[in-house]
Chain A
Amino acid sequence: MRLLRIFSTIAVLAVLIAAQTRIHAQFGWGAPPPESAASVPAAQLLQPGELNRVLHAPGASKPLMLQVGSHMLFAQAHITGSEYAGAGSQPEGLNQLRTRVAQLPRKTFIVLYCGCCPWSRCPNVGSAFKLLRDMGFTNVKVLYLANNLGSDWVDKGYPVESGH
């Protein structure tokens, strides 16, 4: 009887794992779904006005700013001095980010941002933040763009540039 229960449990687990794999395959998910932007702790969020002040503060050490969203959006406009580091929602994008920061001291002040979509819909910043946290970075902030880069940064007259 006990053996039967163990077999039943194993069978149920196997079915659940198979179903999950099938769902992933069905929707073309080769990797786990991206972390939600909501997973970024509130203490790690940086408001646009704050970042703008940091960028303009004379003598203040400037953060390494990494855009972790769409490259096409980056090419149109990005925060002056920031770099493109790959889409956080894609495994290739996370690899690009990993490579970019691999040699940096773990205390480096890094600001991640995307701004592709309304904050709650952003598929990129959550996973990018998690990666840096898992790599041991201790001074990472995520720019809170409530609507998108256009409304919350560019339209406010904060510094932007275009190009690849």
Chain B
Amino acid sequence: MRADTKAHTAHRRLLPVALLLATCFFALGAHTTFAAESLLNKNAPEFSRTAFNGARIDLAGFRGKVVLLDFWATWCASCQVEMPVFVQWQQQYGPHGLQVIGISMDDDPASARKLSAKLRLNYPVAMGDEKLGQLYGGVLGLPLAYLIDRNGKVRAIFQGETDLKIIEKQLKALLAEH
């Protein structure tokens, strides 16, 4: 077989593969994928933020504690049912190693600050943004909370309205782990 014929045959064999790869490439590019992989049992993405009270929130700095990372907003009615309970938990379980962190997904920081003060939140709260949301797989609906163990691993994700007793049960189980 002549060399140019061999090359032609090879090209013909590779063509369908190339077409398939191109199709896959464009199909994947057609829409942005969010939360394709759950963060469950993976290390919680690190982030740093300045809290409303001026303190620095550095997730890595809470290693050794069980962290309840709560994404909320003033327009989220369910969040406002949960937050007073989180205040209570911070008070009750804080000495046992719980740290609640609130991240507001409001567009307007002023309204978030106002509600935080009104609810007398006893845990650090900071503003989020779309980058932080995407870091956590896309915060595309609230309420949304992540339970992170003492080693910084995400152990539970609560999307939507969740029975708070379920969250508390898992939280207590993590606090018991040393």
Q: Which residues of A contact B (CB under 8 A)?
A: 28, 69-73, 75-77, 80, 87, 89, 115-118, 121, 123-124, 147-151, 154-155, 157-162
Given A87-B107, A121-B76, CB of A161 within 8 Å of CB of B32? yes
Q: Does B128 contact A (CB under 8 A)?
A: yes
Residues from chain B with a CB closer than 8 A to the CB of A28 are 114
Option from A87, A117, A154, A160 in Cβ contact (under 8 Å) with B77: A117
Nearest neighbor of A158 in chain B, beta-carbon distance: B31
The A interface, classified by DSSP as helix, strand, loop or mixed, is loop
Say which size band chain B's interface belongs to. 20 to 34
Q: Which residues of B contact A (CB under 8 A)?
A: 30-32, 34-35, 73, 75-78, 105-107, 114, 128-130, 133-134, 138-142, 159-161
Option from B75, B105, B128, B161 in Cβ contact (under 8 Å) with A118: B161
What are 22 sample pairs from A and B whose C-beta atoms fall under 8 A apart? A70-B73, A72-B105, A75-B130, A76-B34, A76-B133, A76-B139, A76-B140, A77-B140, A116-B76, A116-B141, A117-B142, A121-B76, A148-B160, A150-B141, A151-B160, A154-B34, A154-B138, A154-B140, A159-B30, A159-B31, A160-B34, A162-B134
Q: Do the beta carbons of B34 and A70 come within 8 Å of each other?
A: no
Q: How far is the CA of A117 from the CA of B78 in the complex (A)?
A: 8
